[in-house]
């Protein structure tokens, strides 16, 4: 048993490949939810649980984390850093903190939002007589996407099975908050592995020798593993507040988070579950619902955006429509159905006027979509999607060349009247 305040080690080194293109320029824990980074919620929960000494394990795009949190003074905390230079698993990440730890400590994932009550429960178990690791667990609707906890008759963990493909009879998963003795570092070093060194592999080996203590948690637990999780987590965390600083013809729901410097044109409607980052410009008669708009985006008049994430410095032309609602999304080799997602648009992308994006569209960083295009699916970084030439435009170009006239795509020749047909679209990569 120890009397001193434990240190909290928070793993925040990962990239979050399934969250691309949003993580192309920021680490996963720094993705914004309801006006602040995911990692900030984790740190605030640790502080609320009465723990002030924090070690952040950083790696990918670590400067974003170091700059935002500094030494922790703003939160009344003492924050130190260790670096995981290569992302070789959660066990390997924790090993980087070895020199910072001499006593029992807590460990948390920097991308899972939990209440301070869970951290306090794990801390209380750690300060008791137990010498085994303490594992938190919670029930979810999709346990096969996580590490499933295997229990004995005394509700002690006998193993953790990561993303099982077989049929399972439990909904309890690893909630990502742990209590450890310093001996965990030696156990990680002795873990047999042929790939990345995962902490759950170490815990499963330890559980074979002696079952591990568990804490069951029923409070708020938000995991942002997929792009649509960001929309859902944002809607869950937005608080109700007043919005009195905008044009009287603008309607902004109470459960909307708006950062400083945002401009809203007349007749704009921002519906619930939405957060709008700093210095965003929203044109007249724009409608935004259940979406995350990152800083410095420009959304021109008449556009409609639903169930979406719009990256930093994105430009969206007038009268563009991003359709929300239920869709099917492919991530790697996995097909996810019944997903509520409009579109995700990466940083610095340019969307022309009158564009229509189907539900489930993902647009890469700095991609460009021409005006009038209707498209969907996954569009890569730096891609260029252009509107197909119509029959009128092709014939007009040929006639112009024949007559020796200069050609502009928007130049209409009256002799072609009556030969139009419905416009189609094609895409090319630049």
Domain limits at 289? 229-385
CATH number of domain containing 34: 3.90.550.10
**What is the number of structural domains in the chain?**
3
CATH number of domain containing 334: 2.160.10.10
| 88 in any annotated domain | yes
Which of 367, 385, 403 finishes a domain? 385
Clarify whether residues 21 and 119 are in a common domain: yes
**Residue 386 in tokens:** 């252009």
| 163 in any annotated domain | yes
**Host H or E run for residue 46:** helix 38-48
**Residue 154 in tokens:** 């005394």
By the 8 A CB rule, do 381 and 416 touch?
Answer: no
pLDDT of residue 396 exceeding 80: no
| 242 in any annotated domain | yes
Clarify whether residues 370 and 294 are in a common domain: yes
Q: What is the DSSP letter of 303?
A: -
| 253 in any annotated domain | yes
What would the pLDDT profile of 240-295 be if each residue is shown by its tens digit?
A: 777 777 878 899 999 999 999 999 999 999 999 999 999 999 999 999 999 999 99
Clarify whether residues 218 and 237 are in a common domain: no
pLDDT average, residue stretch 379-400: 80
Clarify whether residues 307 and 335 are in a common domain: yes
Which of 225, 258, 278 finishes a domain? 225
Residue 3: the pLDDT is: 55
Clarify whether residues 216 and 242 are in a common domain: no
pLDDT of residue 425 exceeding 50: no
pLDDT of residue 189 exceeding 80: yes
pLDDT of residue 369 exceeding 60: yes
Residue 410: the pLDDT is: 44
pLDDT of residue 415 exceeding 60: no
Clarify whether residues 49 and 100 are in a common domain: yes
When pLDDT is cut at 50, 70 and 90, the band that residue 405 belongs to is low
Residues 6+ apart with CB under 8 A from 141: 171
pLDDT of residue 23 exceeding 70: yes
For strands 221-223 and 112-114, give the pairing: antiparallel
**Chain position carrying tokens 């029923």:** 218
Cα–Cα distance, 136 to 142 (Å, whole number): 17
Clarify whether residues 213 and 261 are in a common domain: no
Size of the chain in residues? 430
Q: What Rg value do the Cα atoms of the chain yield, rounded?
A: 25
| 2 in any annotated domain | no
SS (H, E, C) 359-404: CCEEECCCCEECCCCEECCEECCCCEECECCCHHHHHHHHHHHHCC
| 1 in any annotated domain | no
Closest CA to 106 of 146, 70, 134, 83: 134
Clarify whether residues 152 and 50 are in a common domain: yes
Other CB atoms within a 10 A radius of the CB of residue 3 amount to 6
- Chain mean pLDDT for the chain: 88
| 343 in any annotated domain | yes
Which of 209, 225, 241 finishes a domain? 225
Residue 389: the pLDDT is: 66
Clarify whether residues 280 and 364 are in a common domain: yes
Residue 217: the pLDDT is: 92
What would the pLDDT profile of 114-157 be if each residue is shown by its tens digit?
A: 999 999 999 998 876 667 899 999 999 888 888 888 888 888 88
| 12 in any annotated domain | yes
Residue 423: the pLDDT is: 39
Residue 128: the pLDDT is: 65
Sign of CA dihedral 407, 410, 416, 420: positive
Clarify whether residues 419 and 402 are in a common domain: yes
Clarify whether residues 137 and 160 are in a common domain: yes
Phi and psi at residue 360, to the nearest 5°: 85, 5
Clarify whether residues 256 and 195 are in a common domain: no
């Amino acid at each position: 048993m120890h009397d001193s305040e434990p240190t909290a080690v928070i793993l925040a080194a990962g990239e979050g490949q399934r969250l691309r293109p949003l993580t192309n320029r920021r680490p996963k824990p720094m993705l914004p939810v309801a006006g602040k980074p995911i990692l900030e919620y984790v740190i605030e929960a640790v502080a609320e649980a009465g723990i002030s000494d924090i070690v952040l394990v950083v790696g990918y795009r670590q400067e974003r984390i170091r700059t935002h949190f500094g030494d922790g003074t703003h939160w009344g905390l003492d924050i130190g850093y260790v670096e995981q230079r290569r992302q070789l698993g959660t066990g390997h990440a924790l090993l980087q903190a070895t020199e910072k730890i001499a006593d029992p400590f807590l460990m948390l994932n920097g991308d899972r939002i939990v209440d301070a009550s869970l951290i306090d429960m794990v801390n209380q178990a750690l300060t008791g007589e137990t010498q085994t690791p303490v594992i938190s667990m919670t029930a979810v609707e999709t346990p096969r996407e996580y590490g499933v906890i295997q229990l004995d008759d005394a509700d002690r963990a006998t193993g953790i099975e990561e993303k099982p493909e077989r049929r399972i009879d439990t909904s309890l998963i690893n909630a990502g908050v742990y209590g450890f003795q310093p001996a965990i570092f030696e156990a990680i070093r002795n873990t047999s592995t042929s790939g990345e060194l995962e902490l759950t592999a170490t815990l499963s080996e330890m559980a074979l020798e002696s079952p591990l203590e568990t804490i069951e948690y029923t409070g708020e637990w938000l995991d942002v593993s997929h792009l649509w999780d960001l929309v859902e987590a944002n809607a869950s965390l937005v608080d109700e507040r007043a919005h009195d600083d905008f044009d009287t013809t603008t309607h902004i729901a109470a459960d909307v988070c708006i950062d400083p410097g945002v401009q809203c044109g007349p007749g704009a409607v921002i519906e619930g579950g939405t957060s709008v980052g700093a210095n965003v410009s929203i044109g007249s008669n724009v409608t935004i619902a259940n979406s995350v708009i990152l800083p410095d985006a420009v959304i021109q008049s008449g556009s409609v955006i639903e169930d979406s994430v719009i990256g930093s410095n994105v430009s969206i032309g007038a009268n563009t429509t991003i359709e929300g609602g239920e869709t099917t999304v492919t991530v790697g080799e996995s097909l996810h159905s019944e997903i509520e997602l409009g579109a995700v648009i990466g940083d610095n992308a340019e969307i022309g006027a009158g564009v229509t994006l189907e539900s489930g569209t993902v647009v890469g960083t700095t991609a460009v979509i021409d005006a009038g295009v209707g498209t969907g699916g996954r569009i890569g970084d730096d891609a260029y999607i252009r509107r197909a030439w119509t029959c009128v435009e092709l014939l007009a170009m040929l006639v112009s060349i024949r007559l020796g006239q200069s050609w502009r795509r928007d130049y209409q020749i009256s002799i072609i009247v009556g030969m139009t047909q419905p416009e189609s679209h094609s895409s090319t990569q630049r």
